[in-house]
Structure 1
């Protein structure tokens, strides 16, 4: 039933109704109905003060780090108020006064209707001003213009006062800033509620074992079972949201600390500038060596070389940029194009000469060999327009490399397996310690080339090695 009444409104009331009338295309009746509906909701909200004060404080504490659901946010603060920062400020101060929160809010901006910078300053009780700041910041991010939303730039909190700075940005950064500064627990709570039984079991297991459980990615665990040295790059790339090679060293070290500590692979990780220390309680020496190799390989894949030393309960990793620079110099000399280098001059001569000048040869050889292998295949790939690597074109590339090294080798392709046999290698002279190191580097070159062509999907089985006293080298490559 519709009841018609005549009412009188002064200009001030009509001005305040302006946004609602505009929203309903000039329909005063619809505007008044919405105002009355919202007044009823605000009245209900005001009655929340009836809740015991200690219970109310507990509720504020429990919602810390959680954003208000958007529907509730719209009920708390009218979205139309975004059109004027002054009116928004007046409205909120009035509402906080009605709720008897005893807080004072100030909104400072460079433009009342379309601000590019906003400063929120709220004074009062710590729990209440934090909730108010979180809710208002969320409101501004949500309701600011779609094409240039406000992003939270900083949050400063002191005794009895909180300040939030916002400025124009893009939608993605604006939403991320909301999570960074105020919604850190949103995703956690959402995940737990979606699978409560799973998370209850995980948490219970960690508590009962005094946090001695290890939680790792399935691929990491699969590599462990297969006897490989897992790196954990998938987890780190997922967190960084970019490929491993594009992660800056400082960010990389921070991610290693986060992942290794959270997964409980190590007890604690300490970072000292570009160096890193992993604390653990493993007792098996082979396990410690695998962990050491895993972390150095991970950092190598990131483009950085580290010297790793282990003690009873820690692994110390020291950054070696000097070795990396020397390797870059050597790799840059490797060419395989007919038009650029005399093929009678063995391409590895630059490497063999430079090897003597590299400090800590045993440390460098693995990294140097792999870098060389990747570099060689990259050059071959460009010159021969290779788009997809298969065992056939991989064999052809290695045959060309062997011919330039004057190395006698044989290849036998059987389905998805490739048997590679080296009958004679002119580079390695039996009985020389230095030549044994060179042999190691050449093996790593082969592994680097294989890794570049097939990634982690290929398997390498070493059957015989010349440097071990056998008459020939023999390896098998298998691809899925």
Structure 2
């Protein structure tokens, strides 16, 4: 039975019907019938028209992804396995080739294009990561704020590192701060022109590559580090790390000067360091050597101090330890007083307010070193 009804359509819907009108030689009734058939088929497999439209919009990207899987460009991996890989490769830097494989620098000229490009990549690979970039100058920003939302924290961490490498290479932006939350990761970037393009930005190494040197050493000297870690574990870390020449000096009954080793590690002369910086480097280095049990530092201006806890019993050894550490602080130049007890050594630093000609004194004479050993 044929029923005639009038329908009203504005231009935007007529334009959408145009392909069907062309297919039916301009017959509007036939075009509407085809539209109804399409809608009926869509609702057979989907709960609503909106769901069907969403599916149809995503189909080209899925088909493209399927083609890349067939030709070997991409592969399918279980999500749990992928999360495991992301979690246990954290702290390692990715290669530049991998960054360029995912983010083509020749398709991006400004930060807005980068944002759109990243969201399209996420959509194509079905990562569900949403990217938002804020900056004042999209062409040459001095700073930028990156927000990654959705997906898992490990997925966002990996994606964030790729973006950070790209921004470092092409915009000279370095990571300043990272704020990690359950459903989002926020990263602030700041321009850094002091690092060449062939070097890794310090912020990237700090936040994303903190295990990179360790892992490379493990890869290059696996047998050595495996045995060393096994030994440390068996001995419950009751081992001391000491430079070979310093061990030789100690074994000869003398006290070596550790200043040069500290300077090489800090890449700065001790006498050029501010006292608070030196104390922080000192604590970090000598806790790692296991030479002492613990180190506490006080950084209040004008009242800086270092308290070293140890478990040595031999008085001669303790005296040598006091002299060993004193050589570093003498080199720095701030006067100090030393107090030594049965299991603790304290260095207290103070600014001298002597006469104007006090600078004529030698460095050794500026120090007051008092040793007090409690008798048990």
**Would you say the 8 A contact 1:277–1:316 is kept in 2?**
yes
2:291 is equivalent to residue 265 of structure 1: yes
Pick from 78, 94, 107 the counterpart of residue 68 of structure 1. 94
Give how far 1:275 is off.
0.9
Aligned pairs (5 A) from 1:105-184: 105-124=131-150, 125-144=152-171, 149-172=172-195, 175-184=201-210
Give the distance between the partners of 1:234 and 1:245, measured in 2 at CA: 11
**Pairwise CA distance, 1:40:** 4.1
Report deviation, 1:119: 1.4
| Cα deviation 1:189-243 (Å, max 9, x = unaligned) | 1112111122122212211111111112223223212322223212210122111
CA deviations 1:420-449 (Å, max 9, x no partner) are xxxxxxxxxxxxxxxxxxxxxxxxxxxxxx
TM-score norm. by structure 2 comes to 0.72
Question: For 1:340-362, what per-residue CA distance to the aligned partner results, in whole angstroms no more than 9, with x for missing partners?
Answer: xxxxxxxxxxx7xxxxxxxxxxx
Greater RCO, 1 or 2 (C-alpha within 8 Å, sep 6+): 2
**Kept after mapping to 2: 8 A contact 1:153/1:167:** yes
- 1:58 paired with 2:88, answer no
Once the two structures are TM-superposed, the CA of residue 60 in structure 1 deviates from its matched residue by 0.7
Match of 2:345 in 1: 315
Cα deviation for residue 368 of structure 1 reads 0.8
Structure 2: unaligned runs, 5 residues or longer: 1-63, 369-376
The 2-side partners of 1:95 and 1:369 are apart by 65
Residues 118-144 of structure 1: CA deviation (Å, up to 9, x unaligned) = 211111222121221111111111233
Kindly indicate whether residue 365 of structure 2 is the aligned counterpart of residue 368 of structure 1.
yes
Using a 3 Å threshold, how does the CA distance of structure 1 residues 253 and 93 change in structure 2: closer, same or farther? same
Q: 1:289 aligns with which of 295, 319, 322?
A: 319
Secondary structure at the aligned position of 1:139 is classed as helix
SS at match of 1:51: coil
Give the 3-state SS of the residue equivalent to 2:257 in structure 1.
Answer: coil
Between 154-163 and 286-295, report the one with greater CA deviation: 154-163
Indicate which of 116, 120, 126 corresponds to 1:100: 126
Q: 2: distance between equivalents of 1:153 and 1:330?
A: 45
* Shift, 1:86, TM fit: 1.7
Aligned partner of 1:80 in structure 2 is: 106
Distance 1:108 1:44, change over 3 A: farther
Point out where structure 1 has 5 or more consecutive residues left out of the alignment: 1-35, 335-350, 352-364, 372-480
Change (3 A) 1:190 1:163: same
CA distance in 2 between counterparts of 1:45 and 1:58 reads: 22
Instruction: Choose the corresponding residue for 2:261, options 194, 212, 235.
Output: 235
Cα deviations across residues 25-76 of structure 1 (Å, max 9, x unaligned)? xxxxxxxxxxx9xx948985753xx323322211111111111111111111
- Cα distance in 2 for partners of 1:66, 1:220 equals 33
**Residue pair 1:42, 1:76 contacting (<8 A) in 2 also:** no
Distance 1:81 1:253 in 2: 48
Q: Structure 1's 52 and 243: CA in aligned 2 closer, same or farther, altered over 3 A?
A: same
Contact preservation (8 Å) 2:337, 2:367: no
The aligned counterpart of 1:306 is 336
**Other structure's SS at 1:321 match:** coil
Cα gap change, 1:185/1:59 in structure 2, threshold over 3 Å: closer, same or farther? same
Q: Are the structure 2 counterparts of residues 43 and 264 from structure 1 closer, same or farther at C-alpha, using a change threshold of 3 Å?
A: farther
1:421 paired residue number: none
TM-score normalised by L of structure 1: 0.57
Q: Provide the C-alpha distance between the structure 2 equivalents of 1:82 and 1:110, rounded to a whole number of angstroms.
A: 17
The count of residues paired between Structure 1 and Structure 2 equals 296
